């Protein structure tokens, strides 16, 4: 209860959507957009918050570090508000967290290393903010994460080659950032990858790794406007590839003669 009150206290709620957050038990008195488990935890006899569904409420203010005290939360949803400040590192304490949804805000600061140690995280959705700094190498530990939606931010530096260890990743959306360095050839080791979307970054002096032609699961490869050099990729070995964009680069040499997927 104290954690929820602190979360409410750090937000500005001009339309009064959260006025109910001041009476009784959040799990019994129906606090707006607070969803609890419908049974008490066997180990402590208390109800626990399962979801915070605070999307599209015109909220501003910041995300309180007390979010980390909601230790059994599965869904943290603040999408499409006007929240500023950074993602608190204490979010890394919510080991049950499955969906981290903060896209469409005005968040700044860097991504906390601590998020990389969330064992149940399925989706990290931070797109359309102004988050800066590097992608933490700790994110290579996110064994259950399927979706990296980190596009339209100000992320910088090298894409960590360590991300090639992610066994579940299907969407790598990092377009429209300030990433640089080289394209890690190791990403071809990702066993379930469907989409690589890296448009509008600056990998100056780097080429497209030939290994990307071996990502047989791939449906989309988009590397538009990335200052890439060298030969065009041979993607004739990708059976279901439906979308290839390598425009607005400085590629040279012949167009590969291998036959593309029929779709």
* 52-67 per-position pLDDT tens digit: 999 999 999 999 999 9
pLDDT reported for residue 243: 97
Per-residue pLDDT at 59: 98
Which residues on adjacent β-strands are paired with residue 110? Answer: 132
Residues (pLDDT < 50) of the chain are: none
Position 42 scores a pLDDT of 87
pTM (predicted TM-score): 0.96
Residue-wise pLDDT for 194-251, tens only, equals: 999 999 999 999 999 999 999 999 999 999 999 999 999 999 999 999 999 999 999 9
Residues 6+ apart with CB under 8 A from 168: 143, 144, 145, 146, 192
Outline where the chain has alpha helix (H).
2-9
Q: Would you say 198 and 221 are in contact if contact means Cβ atoms under 8 Å apart?
A: no
Helix (H) or strand (E) holding 34: strand 34-36
Q: What is the DSSP pairing of strand 99-101 with strand 123-125?
A: parallel
Q: For residue 161, what are its two tokens?
A: 């080659």
């Amino acid at each position: 209860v104290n954690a929820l009150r602190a979360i409410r206290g750090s937000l500005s709620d001009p339309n009064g959507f959260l006025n109910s957050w001041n009476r009784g038990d959040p799990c019994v008195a129906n606090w707006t957009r607070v969803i609890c488990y419908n049974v008490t935890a066997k180990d402590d006899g208390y109800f626990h918050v399962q979801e915070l569904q605070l999307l599209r409420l015109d909220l501003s203010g910041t995300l309180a570090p007390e979010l980390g005290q909601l230790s059994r939360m599965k869904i943290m949803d603040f999408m499409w508000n006007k929240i500023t400040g950074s993602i608190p590192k204490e979010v890394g304490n919510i080991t049950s967290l499955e969906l981290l949804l903060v896209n469409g805000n005005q968040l700044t600061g860097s991504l906390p290393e601590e998020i990389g140690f969330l064992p149940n995280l399925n989706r990290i959705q931070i797109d359309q903010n102004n988050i800066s700094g590097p992608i933490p190498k700790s994110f290579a530990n996110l064994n259950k994460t399927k979706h990296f939606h980190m596009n339209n931010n100000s992320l910088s530096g090298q894409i960590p080659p360590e991300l090639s260890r992610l066994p579940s990743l299907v969407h790598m959306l990092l377009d429209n950032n300030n990433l640089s360095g080289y394209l890690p050839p190791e990403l071809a080791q990702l066993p379930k990858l469907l989409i690589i979307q890296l448009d509008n970054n600056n990998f100056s002096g780097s080429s497209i790794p030939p290994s990307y032609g071996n990502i047989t699961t791939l449906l989309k490869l988009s590397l538009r406007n990335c200052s890439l050099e060298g030969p065009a990729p041979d993607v004739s070995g990708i059976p279901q590839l439906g979308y290839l964009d390598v425009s607005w680069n400085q590629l040279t040499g012949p167009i590969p003669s291998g036959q593309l997927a029929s779709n």
